[in-house]
Amino acid sequence: MHVKRRLRTRLAIATVGALSLTLLAPGIAAQATPVVQPNAIPGMDAVLRPAKLVALAPGATQVTVKESAHGGTVAVSWSVRSKSGRSEIWARVKRGASWGRAVRISDRRATALRHTTDIDSNGALLVGWYEKRGKKRAVVVRRLSGTKLSARKTFSVKAQDGPYVSAGPMQDAVAWTVKKKGVTRPYVSIDAGAGFKSPTMVGAATTKHSAIKGKLSLNSDGPQVHLVHLVKNTASNRAEASWSVLEPARSNSWQRYSNLGPKQAVTSPHPPFVAVNDNGAAALIFTNRDAVDQVRYPSLFLYHPGRSGRALDRLEEARDIAHPDGDSDTRADIPLRSVQNRRGSLMVSYADSPGMLKRLTAPDGNGFSSREWVADALCAPRTNWFFAWPPDEPEFHCIDDESTPGSLQIQHANVGLQATWRPDPRSRAPLRGKVPDPLVPLLQITEDVAGTKDPVWIVDHTEGGRDPGAPRLKFTRVKQPKVAGTARVGSALRVKAGVWRAQPAKTTYRWYAGKKKIKGKAGTKPRLRLTKKMARKKISVKVAVTRSGYAKQTVKVKLRKKVKPRKR
């Protein structure tokens, strides 16, 4: 009885949701709008929330959707051709229940290509892309907070691949590959709160194997930064797995590990993945090739951040996480589609149906979790599965645009038809459906309008939520700050900030003469010139270190002796 009451309530909500909300982006002319018709099943109601129809620009391509791990922020980005023929990047961000207006991210005077996005812990959308401006080439990174854009950060490089961006509570990261002396290697730049720094080459510096294009994954959702990629071993003609990790709380240097074990053929290799849960446990996923059955299957390594030793010692051995259906009893040559942190658990989805969702880690620990959900129904096309996230457990849904020509049907695997999206009667143009990411319930609808740019919408089925606050770690003082120099009028003192783990993103200084602050810029620099007013007073300085995700720490250093007058 309780279940039926809950289902009837949801049916009423879904009926209200039939009056879909269309949000038009700037510059988008009035256009025909698809209409949703909920399906009322006796004794059962629609499982999905009421849907909002969010308009993108006509002709939108490369549509990318993102949702934060706990549902507090949702974002969609896309590329579109401007009147001048250049490719531009636009984005919209949803906080709570409200979608912001569309914002152009890239410059009108340049062509923006290969954009990627990620949502930061503070709700900002980090966007990276490859830019062509005349003969100049660059990697560009920018943040969108609501409808406010940050300044551009530009790296003047000719990137072979990327950029790939990742936004986290401790640091943001951007990666790309560059070919030098015949070898293509990945580079990473880190922003720990004071802006992106000069890029660092990762991967084995002595290797002669090039990184394979499009086979790289980057993640900075925890205290560490993980980069996994594939390299081409020309001698064995195999794609090998490589892993690089930066652990700021332990060291300022990258640790690099090549040839972890999984190998596959270099022809169309499956890409690697890396994802991090709320506890900092990282899943590194590479595809391996079985020597007997010649079947490829995903192989999982789990990184435990709390263990001691080097990073490789904290990596648990590989585990088979293949789809149970396929070419053999236990393994299937079915690649992964998406791996993400969903409400504290690491979830993985597969690029085929019957739809399958596996939980890799539990939300309350760092160990493996063997739970999985399987749906038997088939979709058309077979990759159009997506998952909704009610409080109890994920639900399987699918888009069908083949059995219902001109319209789209959304079905629940175990319930049946949920809703039908039909064209606006004014246009009667057929609709096409697409699932950009099965772990994010944002669906793409395109209207096939002959002789013009096809209108594009996003159907928003996200549940919403509240993202937890960013964790606050403590700095470890490796070496105490100290002051060098002679305490005499006319001389200069210089403060050394000491050594900290993690490395501070910003260090500030405040000098005192006795109990009074030394005013002006002279009192905030690491070097202090002693004047007559400071004679016979004790000098001290406060050194404060800050970094994103860390609590601010201040150390006061005092001179033992008073400042002596100038020598006659």
Ramachandran sector of residue 491 (left: φ over 0; alpha: ψ -120 to 50; beta: rest): beta
What pLDDT does residue 449 have? Answer: 86
User: pLDDT tens digits for 452-497?
Assistant: 889 999 999 998 888 887 778 999 999 999 999 999 999 999 999 9
The mean pLDDT of 177-199, rounded to a whole number, is: 93
> Does residue 12 have a pLDDT over 70?
no
CA dihedral of residues 330, 334, 339, 342 (deg, nearest 10): -60
Supply the pLDDT for residue 333. Answer: 81
Instruction: Measure the CA–CA gap between 237 and 230, rounded to whole angstroms.
Output: 12
Assess whether pLDDT exceeds 80 at residue 352: no
The percentage of the chain sitting over the pLDDT mark of 90, rounded to a whole number, equals 59
Give residue 4's pLDDT: 33
Weakest mean pLDDT among 26-35, 194-203, 343-352, 387-396: 26-35
pLDDT digits (tens, 9 = 90+) for 86-133: 999 999 999 888 999 999 999 999 999 999 999 998 899 999 999 999
The residues, ordered by sequence, that sit 6+ positions from 523 with a Cβ below 8 Å of its Cβ are 510, 511, 517
* Chain centroid, CA 461 distance in Å: 20
pLDDT of residue 466: 85
Place of tokens 């263990």: 307
Q: pLDDT at position 8, please?
A: 33
Mean of pLDDT values over 528-536? 93
Q: Does 481 sit behind a cis peptide bond, omega within 30 degrees of 0 on the bond before it?
A: no
Range from 273-277, 360-364, 376-380, 456-460 carrying the lowest mean pLDDT: 376-380
Work out the widest C-alpha separation in the chain, in whole angstroms.
Answer: 102
149: pLDDT strictly greater than 60: yes
Is the pLDDT at 446 greater than 80, yes or no? yes
Mean pLDDT computed over 177-202 = 93
Residue 21 has pLDDT above 80, yes or no: no
Looking at the chain, the whole-number percentage of residues with pLDDT higher than 70 is 90
Distance, CA of 477 to CA of 13 (rounded, Å): 55
Is the predicted pLDDT of residue 2 greater than 90, yes or no?
no
- Segment of 164-173, 319-328, 331-340 carrying the highest mean pLDDT: 164-173
Question: 546: pLDDT confidence band, cut at 50, 70 and 90?
Answer: very high
Integer CA distances (angstroms), 19 to 13, 33, 421, in order:
11, 11, 12
pLDDT tens-digit map of 62-79: 999 999 999 999 999 999
Query: Average pLDDT of 357-384?
Result: 83
pLDDT value of residue 169 = 92
Q: Give the domains, in start order, of the chain with CATH numbers.
A: 1-57+384-465 (no CATH), 476-558 (2.60.40.2700)
- CB-CB contact of 142 with 155 (8 Å): no
Q: Which residue has the tokens 């936004």?
A: 167
State the pLDDT at residue 147: 92
Tell me the whole-structure pTM to 2 decimals.
Answer: 0.89
Each residue of 66-81: b (16+ CB within 10 Å) or e? bbbbbbbbbbbbbbbe
Asked whether the predicted pLDDT for residue 330 surpasses 70, the reply is no
Model confidence at 276, in pLDDT bands (50, 70, 90)?
very high
